Structure formats: structure tokens, C-alpha cells
Structure 1
Amino acid sequence: MVDNNIVEASIHLEVLSHDDDDNRSSSARSQIQDILLNRVQTPPITRSRSPFTVSSQGSNQNLMTTPTSAQLIDENRYLNDELNRVETILNLTRAEKDELSIRYNALSDRLEQSLRAQGIDISSDSNNGEPERRILVQQNIDLRRKLEEEHQNYKRKLSNYQEGQLKQAQLVQKLQQKVLQYKNRCTELELLIEQHKNDMDRIRLTSASNATSSLIFESRITQHNDEENIATITLEEEKHKSANLVQLNTMLREQLDQAHLTNQQLSEEQRRTTTELQKLREDFTQKAHDWKQEERVFNQFCNKEHNHMYELWRDIVTFRKQFIELKGTTERDLMRVRNDLAQTGRSLTSACFGFLTVAKTAETQGQAASERERHDRTNLESQIREKTREISDLQQRLQETSLLNEKLRFQLAEKDGTITTLARANQIQNQATETSSSALETRTREINADTERLHQRLRDIAQSVLNDDDDIFDNDLGRTSPRRLSPLRGADRFDSPDRAYSRLRSPRSNSPQRPTQASRPHSRNVSPSFADSTFSAVQAALNKRQVQVHDLQTKLNSARDTIQQLKDQLNQSDAERRHLDQQATTYKLQIEELRRQFDDTATERDRSKTALETSNHERTNMEKIRITLNSQIDSLRADCERLQQSNTEVQRQRDILEEEKDDLQKDKIRQVKENERCIKVIDNLENKISQLKTDITELREQYHKEKLTKDVLAQEKHVLGDALSRSESYRAEIELDLSKERSENATLRDLLCKIQALNEGLAQDKIELNKIILLVEQEKSSIHNEKSDVEQDKTTLRQELVKVEQEKIDVENERDTLLHRLQLTEVTRQQIEQELNIVNKEKVEIIEQFQQLNRIKNTLAEDLIAARKDIERLSEHNARLNKEKEELTKERGNLVVDLSGTERDNQTLNSTISALRAEKEALETNLYEAQNTISQLEVRKEQLEGENQELLLRKEQLQGEIQRLHAELNVEIEKSARQREQLHLRLTQLEHDKETTVQQHHRAHEDDIERMTREREKLRHELEAVREETIRQLTRDKDDSVQRYEKEKEDLHYELANIITERDQALIEAENEKQKV
């Protein structure tokens, strides 16, 4: 029947081995099956490891008492203790499994909620055409599906494993029941044998007294002998069966030893993984610090670049606006000048044709001047058209550059967003690794605490076994039981090779607590329910340990997968970084191309400026020629005119001054309105730009938030499959990547320094432009002061005009009297006719004087031509100086100089237009007045003589005024030359200051670079020192923990060895006393 039970147990084990997926447990079960089959087919063989071998060599009586119930109880107690210990471990692993399942469910719920929350975003992204987000979401869904499948497989395997463990537990319970039956049967047989012995003794005592009962005694003796033979046979059978059970127990003990070895291996692997995890965590912290530092530097760089681009864009916008306004004003002024020039040309031609009757020479010179003026006007118009075309081309180029700048700015903003998202993803990964490492550390601490509790439990188990043995020995001391003849068998059961080695290594003294322990009362037999519970607890502990081993293996595999995924992420980040470097180089090339285009536009603007200045110089020369012609005409008119002409000239000057005043007021009002309009436009543009900036920042924040949520979800998915294996093989690659990233960071810092130097140069140029603008404003204020002085002169002239008007009124009164007199002198007409002949003679003399004046005028014209040549020479010299000035200033003062030049041109054009208009009116009035005076010459002879004298005096005065005007012109030319020299000196000083400031900035920049490199090296050394210190501290902690565990292990071995020695000595003493008795 026992053999049948053993076969059934082997069949159950075979079924369980098929259901189990773990290789190690299946191999152990196959070994158990082979051993059980060998035990069924072959008789039991005594092995060196059996606890019965020592006592079997003692005597034949000990061999007969091998399968005693006490030894079997000890064996079962030991197995129950081991099963309890393993059960506690399995309970801990089951609790960990439950915790992991709870965490997994929580993470899966969070993932589902995030995916449901992102459902709208996913659809919108698909509509917007963002395939990357769709790919990430699909990957997340696939990973989640895989995790769910793995979790289901794990649950299925776990359920199969639990069913197998339950079947195995049932089998163990059945085996325990069989063992208990064998124990009961053995005790019953022992009782029968004792009863037979007592009967035999009693019969021997009564044989002497009762001889008649000898036959009965002999029959009883034979009967008892038969029963003894039957009992011995049954004992032998039970002995064989108990031997088989002992072998089964040894086999189970070997399995427990293997489980201990696997636990030790797993603990060692856990320690290795913890050390590797700590190293990886340090590497990740270092890398995270480097990433943060790089992110901070890159953010600073991007912010600076963004600010510089924004300032450059504002400068370009202001330049374009000023250029458009300047273009509009110049076009309006040129149209006005063109109309005025046409009017003046017509007036000059009419004046020249009217004056042809007076002097042919003046007519020829006037025609030549008008022809030259028309030719110059046509040239000016052609040049103006060319300049307008060039200005339109420049405007188109500026628009193209502005579009390129906007594109570059948007691309930089996108790259900023990607870099920030990568940095945040790296931080999240580091946090996840830190949390996983902290969880592993807590688990290691819990396992260490469990090991300490298990050691304490082993001590308690050994003590309880000793107490049970002592109680059994005390209770059975007076009996002569066969099972007391081999006390060393139970002791030798604890003599594993490690314990024997520890016993030989350091024998210790007997424990002083032994007597107290021996005195404790214990029952002789252990209850079956307690044995069943302990055996089932051991079996459950073994099952739980196998589950824990399987969990650790799965965690190890998941850690390896996590390391692979981290490596992939690092490769992806490296690829993205290389892509960003390429884009940075392309942006740099585009910026250089834009700078070249800007230089080309500056050169074209300089050429247009030089052309405008040459046209201005030519226009001034024409104006000077016209002024000289007007002065000549005025001199001729002065020779021909009388007092009335001078009066009309004074009135005309007064009108001219009033018109100039009105024009100046209108120009002032227009300039104020233009300034107000410009300020309003600038304010509107600044408000729009600020609004756009706020919109851009809001959009960027939204984009970062969406990217962050996506990265967090992706990170949570990756965390579910993270693990920590293959770290040693990839550590070198990670360090190489870190070195590459550091070198690339150094190159990026160099580029950053260069761009900062360029930005500083641009800022310095802007400062110099502001200085030049201030200088121009100062010059403008000086011009306004001069204008106020001119207005004061105008007030004095007005006062003189008032006086002349009073004289005119007097003259008109006299004229009225003369007309009255003419009516009275009609009677004396004949006398006047006689006197007319005399007047004609005097007229001939006047004509001769007029010819003399023409000759003088020709000489003055020659002088004026010479002066004009000198002026042209000076203008060429000035043009050469202006060209040198433009080459020195380049793009710094172009806008300001153009603005001031156009303002001066407008002022000069307005003044020349008003002067030409006044001169036209003066010429017309002069012609009319000349005709009137010629008609009046015939009437007034005497008055003409006096008036001729007065005219001669006026002529001298006018010549003095002409000389004075020439002197003032020379003074103004000298003053302008001095101003040009001062400007040239200022420009040289500004250039020198610029060079000094650039050198200072360069030196400061180099000092900053050296300081940053020193700080970086210092920080690197400090971090390396901290890393080495942490490694040393961890190694010391590890060594201390290992030494502490070894010491505790040795202490446990010593205590077990002492307990075993004490028990052996007690058993030997008991055996000796028994033999003595």
C-alpha cells in the first residue's frame, strides 16, 4: 500500500512538472520523481548522508531500532520548521506581487485616462497633419496592449503554478498522514512487544511454582515466539518503509538546500543589481546635471539671439518707415521744384525777350543761361528717376530680408521648444530611475529584515527541538525501549557539511541555558494537526519562494529592456542634437548671406547718396549762376530805374519776406504734423509687436504643455517596462556619448561667444549712430539759432521798408502836384518841344553811359565766371571729402545724413523758389515801371537830372551791397569748409573710439571665456570627486554589510554547532547511564 502511495505521489509530481513553467522547479521535480521510482523498484540503500548510518555501525540492536518514532518526529519537525520559514518568505513575495499588481493597475488606469483625455487632441492633430504625434500615440497603444498580454500570461502562469503548488501540498499532506499512520503502527507494535516480554517474565516466575502449567507455558512460548517472529517480520517491513520515508525526507532536504543556494544566488544577483543600479543612477544624475547646464546655456543663447533679432527687426522697420517718408517728401519737393523751375524758366524767357530791346548782349547771355538751365534740369530729372528706381529696388530687398528674418525667428522658436521638451523628458527619466532605485533599496532592506527574522526563527526552532528531545528522554528514562539505544541518529541529522565544518572550526563551550531548557515540560508526542500545519507551511513557503524567483527573473528581464530603451532614447537624442547642429550651421550661413545683402544695400545707398549730393551741388551751382544773372539784371535795372522803381523794389522785398514767413510757418506746421504722425505710427507698431509677442509666448507655452503631457505619458509607458541590465556593456558607450556631447557643447559655446561678439559690435554701432543723431540734432539747433538771427535782420528790414513806404507816399503826393502842373503847362508845350531836342542829346549821352555800364557788367560777368570755377573746384574738393566721409561712416550715419540733407535741400529749395517768384514779379513790375518812366522823362527834364544824380548815388550803394554779398558768400564758404573739417575730425574720433571699444569688448569676451572654462573644469573636478567619494562610500557600506552578514552567519553556525554538541553530549550521557543501569 505504501508503494502504491509513493507511485501515486510520483504521478502527481509528474503532472505538476508538466504544468510548471519554471526550468529550475521542473528539474527538481523530475529528480524527485526518479528518486521515488528508484525507491519503489529497489530496496533502500543506506547512504553516507543518512542520519541513521552512524548508529547502524554501532550494534545489531541499533539496526533493529532504526525507524523509531522520535527520530521521525524530529525529521518532521525540522521539515515543518523549514516549511514555515519558506511559507513566510512566500507570504512576503505574495505581498510584493499584490503591491506590484496594484501599482500596475493604477498605472494602467492613469494611462487609460490620459489616452481618453488626449482623444480630442489626437483627432485634431490628425486633422492638422502632425504624423509624429499619431505615431507616438499608436506606439503607446501597442505598448499598453503588449503589457496587458504579458500581464495576462503572467496571471495564467501564476494560476497554473498555484494549482501545481496546491496539488503538491495535497500530496505532502497525504505523505504526512502516511507517516503518522506508520508512527502509530510502530508505537502499537512496540507496546505489544513490551506486553509479550512482561508476560514472558511473569510466566518464567510462575513456572517454578506451577509445574503443571509447563505445557501451557510451552504452548504459550511457542505462540509468543510465533508472534515475535511475525512482529519482527512486520518490524522489518516497517523498517524498510521508514527507511524509504527517511530517504524521501533527505531528498526533500536536498531540495531545500538547493532552494537556499538559489536564494543566495538571487541575493548576490540582487546585490550586484543594486550596485549597478547605484552606478547607473550616479551616471544618470551626472548626465542630468550636464543636460540642465547645457539647457540653461542654450536658453540664454536663444534668448539673447531672440532679443538681438527683435532689435534688428525694429531697426529695419524704422529704417523702412523713415525711408518711405523720406521718399514721399523728396518726391513732393522735387515735383514742387520742377514746377517752380518751369515757371522760372518761362519767366526768365519772357524777361529776356522783353529786355532784348534794351541790350542784345544781355539777351544772348540770358538765352545761353536758360539753355544750360534746361539741360541741367533734364539731367536732374533723369537722375531723380534713376534714384527712385534704386530706392524701390532697395525697398524690395529690405522686404525680402524681413521675411527671411521672420522665418528664421520662427524656426529658432521651434527649436527652443524641442530642446526644452527633450530636457524635461530627460529629467522625468532620471526621476523614474531614482524612484525605481529607491524601490529596490527598500526591497533589499525588507529582504535583509526577513533574513534576520528567519535566523531568529531558526534559533527558536533548534531550541524547541532540543527541548522536545530532552522531555522525551526524561519521560522514557526508566524504560528499556529499543529506540533509546541509538540517540546519535537525531543529532547526526543536523550534521550538514557546513555545520560539521563550523563545529570542527570553532568548538564552543556549552550554553549555560541548557539546564533551564531541559527542565521545560513538553508532551511526548506532537499533535497531527500541528504537524500538518507546519508541513503545509513549509510547502507554501517553497511555492512562494519559487514565485519570488520567477518575479525577480521577470523584473530582471524588464530591467534589461529598460536599459535598451534608455540607450535607444539616448541615440535618438544624439540624432536630434546633430540635426540641431546642422540647422544652426544653415542658420549661420543664412545670416552671413543676409549680412552680405545688407552690405550690398548699404553700398547702393551710398552710391545713391553720392549721386544726390552731386545733383545738389549742381543745383547750387545753377542757383549761384542764376543769382549772378539776377544781380547783373538788378544792376542794369538800377541804372535804368528811378526812384519809383526803388520804392517798388522795397515793397516787393516786403512781400517776399511775408511770403517767406508764411512758407516757413506752413513748413513748421507740416513738420510738426509729420512728427506726430510718425510717433503715432511707432506707438501703434510697438503695441502690435508687444501683442504679437504675448500671443507667441502663449502659443509657445501651450505647445510646451502639450509636449510635456505627451512626454509624461510616453515616460510612464516606458517606466512600466524599465529594467536595469546590460549596464556594464553600455556604460562605456554612454561615457563616449557624454564626452562627445561635452565636445559639442564646447563648440556650441564657441559659436555662442562669436555671436555674442557680433551682437556687441551691432550694439556698439547702434550707440555710435545715436551719437551721430545727437550731433545732427545739435547742428539743427544751431541752424535754428541762425534762423532766428535772420528773422531779426528781417525785422530791421521791415522797419526800413516802413520808412521807404512813407517816402513813397510823399513821392505820390508830389506826382499829383506835377500832374496838376502839367495841365497848367500845356500852354508852354512849344517851349518844351524845343527843350526836347536838348533832352534827346542828353538821351544819347545816357545811352553811351549805359553801354559803359554794359562793359562793366561784362567784366563783372567774367569775374563771376572765375568765381564760379573756384566754387566748382571747391565743390569737387567737398565732394571728395564727402566720399571719404561716406567710406569711413558706411552704414552708421547714412539715414541721419540723408534726413538732414533732405531737410536742408527742402529749406534751400523753398528759399530759392520764393526768391525766384519775387524776382519774377520784380522783373514784371520793372518792365512796366521802365515804360512809365521813359514816358515821364519827356515831361520832366529838370527832375530827371536830379534823379540821375540820385540814381548814381543808389548805384554806388548797390555796388557796395554787391561787394558785401560777395564777402558774405566767401565767409559762408569758409564757414562750411570749417564745419566739414570739424565733421571729419569727429568722424575720425568716433572711428578711433569704436576701435578701442571693440578691442575692450574682445578682451572682456576672452576673459569671460577663460573664466567659464576654469569654472567648468573646477565643477567637473568637484563632480568627479563627489562621484569617487560616493563610490568609495558605497563600496565601504557593501563590504561592511557583507562582513556583518558573514559574521552573523558564522555566529549562527557556531550556535547551531554548540547546540548540536550539547545535544550529542546529553544523548551520550543518557546512553551511558542507560547502559550502566
Structure 2
Amino acid sequence: MDYSLRDYEDTPPFLGGAGGGPSSSDSSHLLRQNSDLQRKLDEESASNRKKLDAYRTSQQQQAALVSKLQAKLLQYKQRCKDLERDPPPPLPSYLDVGRGGGPTSSSALDAAQAHLRELREERIQDFDTALRRLEDERRENDKLRKMNAVYKEQLDEAHQTNEALTNDLEKLTSDWTHLREDMAMKEKDWIEEEQYFNDYYSSEHARLLALWRDVVDIKRSFSAMQAATEQDLTKIRTDLGQSTRQMNGACTSLVAMGAGSGLANTEKEKLSKENSELKSQVSTLKSDNHALALDSKHKEEKVEELLKRIHVLESRVEEADQNVLLVEEMQHELELLQNTLRDIARAVIQDAEGKDVISSVMQPHVHLTQPGVPPRSPKRAPFTRQPTSPAFAEGTISAVQSSLNNYQLHIHELQTKLAAHREQLHSMKKQYETADESQYTLSQQVNSLTTELDQTKSALNQANREKEGLNKNIEILRVEKTALEKTKREINEMVESLNSNLDKVQKNNSRLSKINESLQNEKLFLQNELDRINSDMDNRETELRGKDDMNRRLREDLLIANEDLKNAKLAKELLEQNKEEMETLLGHVEKSKGDLESEMERLLLDQSEMNEQISKCEALIASLEADRRSLCEKNKKCEEEKQSLRNQMNDQGNDVASLKKELLQAEQIRLDLDSEKLTLIEKCKFLEMEKEKVEVELSQVTKDRSDLSHQLSLLQRKKENLVEDISRLKQKYEQSLEMNNRVNKNLEDLVKECEEKEVR
């Protein structure tokens, strides 16, 4: 950005008030976010407590079932012991009566014997059935013991999962407290940065106002000095005109006196007196001329000091503008940091919700990891008196449902991973396209920079030509100086012998007038060249503004790419949340087996296509790296050319300094001459002002070149960032391939398990 004194003369500065930092709306927004986060934390803690209560109730129910089973086992054991210890039944009463009475008939004995035989057979059958029942009860007891061991293992696993959940809750609470503390610290830092920014902005505003006041004061003093010097120069010109007129009158009178030889001696004495008076006047005029030359030197020194102060103030104004731009960039970066922190907080909350969902989904499957109860043989089923417990039936049903849920979840995870991989491929394609576009823009920028270097070279050639012209002008001025010295000698001889040197003075006057006309023509030529240089500088300013617009567009493209990445992350989280909604499609799982097999084939085809795309992407990356190397070489060449141009500029600065010294010497010699010399000095001053303007423009060109070098360094940093992003994408792609392999292995395992279940 170029700020000259003319711009401050034409337009007043636009200085905004000191920014009070972000408004109250931002603070209220932060408070709302904090309240929302607190509310979500409370809801999450309540949901976690409910889950823990439900888990505890389920544990209590399982403990009650285990206690019931143990009570039933004890009852079975007691019954077995009772059956083993059960004595034989007593004899009937009619046998005792027969024994006590007298002899009976043979029919009664036969009946008694038959009855005894029947009793023995019944006892033998009861004993066999009792043994069989004991064996069945023992087997059932063994089965119940196994079931009890399985339930104990499940209880241990449940306790372990409970401990893991409690540890996770403690970690979440600790992480949340750390996040709260970090957010509080960041809020304090933001407040301190806002206060510092406000103080800095107010101080910069005050500095700009003070600089503007100093510039106005210097401008006024410069205009006053210029008016005073112009008045003094007009007075000197009038005095010199009067002296020349008097000299011409004296010369004519002397000529007339020489022609009229019949004049008296008194008139000769008067002429000698007048001659002496004229000599005294000439000496006084010389002294006055010398004093005026000294005054003009002092004024020139003051003008140079004022110009230096103006340059210093302009540099300060430029620094202040740069500081204002830096402050605006800091504001933009603060807004970006606030947005990123908000996104991080949302991501943390959603991650916590996702963890809760996963834990709630996987909780009922913890108790069903062990195999179920083996089925009973069909031969022994009719001998059992009591049916199986409803808890056992519910356990088997829940085991079947859990296996179906696991199968459905695996299928859904595979589908979501497929969609995620496809989205990653699509995003990678977009990123590669953006990389190609950025490469194309960078190549265009390099071409534009090469054209600008060519333009600067042409400008340097023009400056060299102008330097040669100035050297020629200096040589002409030296010749004129020698001529003026000759004229000075001739004027001294004319004072001694006025009659013989009048013609020579007239010739010298005519020659000096011609030189004056030639200098005026050269002045017009230099003014035209200055106008042309100003137009070139305006064109360069427009080109630099265009480059600034290009940089802003690139920054906007980078911001859009970051937003796309964030949207992709949010979409991924939404897909993870939609896992619960897909659990209602359990009935359609059996129908979609054939579709899954076809999708497996499609997956294999997609994997082959993805491998082909990976090879293509690697080829593109190799081409991009080759282009980057070529661009780096071009940048090195440009930097070497810049260094050579800087060396040339330094040489030209030394030449200009030597030219300044020679011009100052010429001006000191001219100060001893008459009015014609004063006009030449004024023209030389004008030329010096123009040269200083040219030097200022050259300094601006060097600043522009430094800005271009800074932009090139920024572009190189962007290229390095792009290379890092490409490497990260490669890593993500390799991770996605590993995930695909894992998914394929899981699918194969699931297919094998399903086949084994169908075989069973």
C-alpha cells in the first residue's frame, strides 16, 4: 500500500473509533452455549443413573433366580435322601390275624401268598423307578450346577462391565471437569485478549491522529517556507533587473562620453566618480548575492530536513496501516478460534452421546456370551415330573434375540462402513480436484510473477536510460559552468573596460537565453517522463490489488474445504446415531440374505475399483510432486533474479548519491553567479525534487518486491500444507483399506457362524 503526501492533502483520513471488542451478543451466546452444555451434561448424568439403576435391578433379578435355583437344588437333594432312607411299608392286618388264630384253610393261604407276591413285585418296580428317578435327578442336578456356574460367570462379567462403566463414568466426569476448566481459562484468556486489543487499538488510533496532526503542521510550514522563498527570489530578481538597467545606462553614458570628446574635465571627474560608485554598487551586489546564496542554502537544508521528516511520517503511517491490518487479521483469527472451540465442544458432546448409545446397545449382550443350556434327550423327557423354569426359557429366547441382534448390528455396521468409505472416496476425489485447481492457480501466479519480473527489468532498463540522460545533463551543466566562469571573467573585464566588452555581454546574454530555452525543454521532457512513471505505478498498484483479491479467494476456498470436512464429520456422527433406528428391521434380515451376498460381490468389485483409483491417485500425487519440484526450482530462479535486481538497485543508488554530490557542487558554484545562475539553480532544485520522487518510487518498488517475496513464501507454505494433507489422506485411505479387510473377515466369520447354526 502506497501512501503519499498528496493523498493526505486531497482526502482526510478515515479513522474509526477504538473497537470495544466483541459485543454483548457474543458473550450471551457463550453463556447460552455453557447453559446448553450444562443441561446436556445433567441429562447425560440422569440417563447414566437410570441405566445403572436398570442394570442393578437386572442383577438383583438374576441373583433372585440363582437363589431360587439353589433352593430347588436343595429340595431335590432332600427328596433323594428321603427316597434312599424310606423304609418298606408294614404288612396288612389280616396277615397278623391269621397268624394269631387257629389253622385256616388252604384257600386263605393261597390268597395271602398271591397278595405277598404282588406286594413284592410292586416294591421291586417302585425301587427301579426310584433308582431311575435318582439318576435323572442327579443328571438334572449336574445340569443345574453347570447352569449355576454359567450364571456365576455371567454375574462376574456383569460386575466387571459394571466396574468398567463406573470407570468410564468417572473418566467422563473428570474429562468434563477438565473441559470446563479449559473453557473457563479460555474465556479468561479471551477477555484479556479483548482488553489488550482494545487498548492497542485505542493507542494506535491516538498515534494515527498525532501523525496526521504532525503531517498537517509540516505541510503548513512547508507551504509557508515555499511562499517565503518565492517572495525572496522575486525581490532578488527585481534588484538584479534594476542593477542591469543601471549598468546599461552607465555603459550608454560612457559611450556617449567617449564619443563626445569635447566635454570638460569636470564631466570626466563626474564619470570617474560614477564609475567608482558603480564599482561600489557592484561589490555590494556581489556581497548581497553571496548572502542570498547562503540564505538559499539554509532554506534548502531546511526543506531537505522537512522532506526527510515527511518520509519518516509516511513510513510511520504505513506502519500504522500495517498494524491496523494485523489487528483485523487477529480479529478474524479470534473468530475462527471461537468457531473451532464451539465445534470441538459439540464434537465432545456428540462423542459422549455416541458412547452412551453404544454402551446401551451392547449392555444386554454381555450376559449372553456363554453358550446356552444343552438340550435334554427325548428319551428322558417323560420321566421328569416338573416343567423347566420360565427364566430358563426367557434366557434362551434372549440368547436367540441377542444373536440375531448381533448379526443385524454387524450387517448394519458393514453397510455404514461401506457408505463411509464411499463418502471418503468422494471427498478424496474432491480434494484431488481442489489440489489440481490450486496447482493451476499457483502456476498462473508464477507466470504472472515472471511477467512482473520482466516488467521490473524493463523499468530498470528505463531507469538506466534516465540515469544516462541525467549524466548527459550534468555534463552539459559542467560545460555551462565553465562557460559561466568565462562570462564572469568577461564581466570583470567589462567593468574595467566597459566600452570594449558591451558586445561580448550581449552575445553572452543571447547564448544564456538559448541555454535557458534548452533547459526548459528538458524540464518538459522530464515532466512527461514523470507522468509516465506515475501511470506505470498506478498500473502496478492495480495488479497488486488483483493479487490481494486472488489471495483472499484462496483463503475463502480453504475455509470452504474446512467446513466441508466438518460437515462430513457431522454426517458420520448422524449415521452412527441412526444405528438404533435400524434395529426395527430384524424381520427383514432373513429375506435380505441373498441381497447381502450380492452386495458382497459388489463390495469385491468396489474394492478392485478402489485399488485402481488408488493407483491413479498415486500417479497424480507423483505428478503433483514433480510439478512442485519444478515450481520450487522456478522460485529459486526468481529469487536469484531478485537478488541480482537488488544489487543493480544498490548500484543505481550509489550512482544517484554520486550524482547528488556532483549536483550539490554545481549548485555551490552557481551560487556565485548572477540572476541567470539563480534561474539555473531553481531548475536544478526542481530536478533534484524529481530525482527524490524517483527514489521514493524506487523504494516503493523495492517494498512491492519484498511483498511479492513474502507472498511467494506464503504460497510455498500452502504447498507444504497441501502435501501434508495428501499424506494424511493416504494414511486415512490405508486405514479404510484395513477396515475393509476387517469387515470382510467379520462377514466371513458371521457367514460361518450362520452356517454352523443352520447345521445345528
- Does the pair score TM above 0.5? no
- Which entry has the higher C-alpha Rg, 1 or 2? 1
Q: Which has the higher contact order (CA 8 A, sep 6+)?
A: 1
TM-score interval for Structure 1 and Structure 2 normalised by the shorter chain: 0.3 to 0.5
Normalised by the length of structure 1, the TM-score is 0.25
